[in-house]
Structure 1
Amino acid sequence: MRVMGVDPGLTRCGLSLVEGGSGRTVTALDVDVIRTPADLDLARRLLIISEAAEYWLDTHQPSVVAVERVFSQHNVRTAMGTAQAGGVIALAAARRGITVAFHTPSEVKAAVTGNGSADKAQVTAMVTRILRMQQAPTPADAADALALAICHCWRAPMMARMAQAEALAAEQKRRYEAKLKEQRKAGAKR
């Protein structure tokens, strides 16, 4: 599975590409941080991010894009910018028929470090270790984008099994309810 991890942001937007192998084996293929000047018009900033994401999508052809879900932030302006940056990337992926998955920061931290409230230094250290990198990825947005891709590689099989189990349970429930309905009809005819 080839996963493009996205740590969205208007000032710095982390992009990564990770290849998931068997088990928990993952390999980093590329990582970058797209920067936009704070004094630039919002629409132009989003265009720069969108164009970079489109280039990545066309060049790397990921099978899925994992984007950090904006969960909560104290600064509404920052949260809006983060959501907008993630939105233009999700849209670019959707236009190409690429699946988009959203993961909360605590899901990512828990997947990579085992602790849903780990700090950035812990995430960076674990990403460096998991990917067997010689140097820690910098800035933190690069490490976060890699962590998102790793998280998805590791969580996707479990999420697929859960979806399968839920679908099977729903089908069994439907059959059981249909059987009960038939039994009630048969009982009423007697």
Structure 2
Amino acid sequence: IAVLKNKEPGSFVVRDSHSFRGAYGLAIKVATPPPSVLQLNKKDPLEEIAETSPQTAANSATELLKQGAVEMESLTGYQAVQKAFSMTLMQDPFPISTIVHFKVSAQGITLTDNQRKLFFRRHYPVNTVIFCALDPQDRKVFGFVARKQGSGTDNVCHLFAEHDPEQPASAIVNFVSKVMIGSQKKI
């Protein structure tokens, strides 16, 4: 089918079917897809916004140092972030941290542990992320509070530190608040 990409509409290829032994497949290049074909947007809507806004592009995905996650029961807001950092700093030994790819989209926050130290990939849907803020003591760290999976009342505060000086925690918090938490209020 890749052969037809640069061809004119009406061009076609007949080939052996990979799915059905002894059968053939026909691929035809058309000018416009028939009305019964579902057209999916090939870009993430946030990426389209990112192309027009350098700040958005810089902050939609970045590398961060994940410091840990602390269960908060029903606590949320700045109190949850402050308590989570205090509890984490008091732990002995200090929890294992790992560099994660932190991606924010209209669907939620996706964390990927590239080294698979603690996990492979985790996704927090937009409707579960309820708060995001910088550490109240002005360290270069921040946390986001999300509903604990399978619970309607319990929360978990996920803690992160800056890894790339070009991606300050304040810009990430602003982006998360604008894109995710702000979009929930509109619904």
TM-score by length of 2: 0.23
Larger radius of gyration: 2
TM-score by length of 1: 0.23
**Greater RCO (CA < 8 Å, at least 6 residues apart):** 1
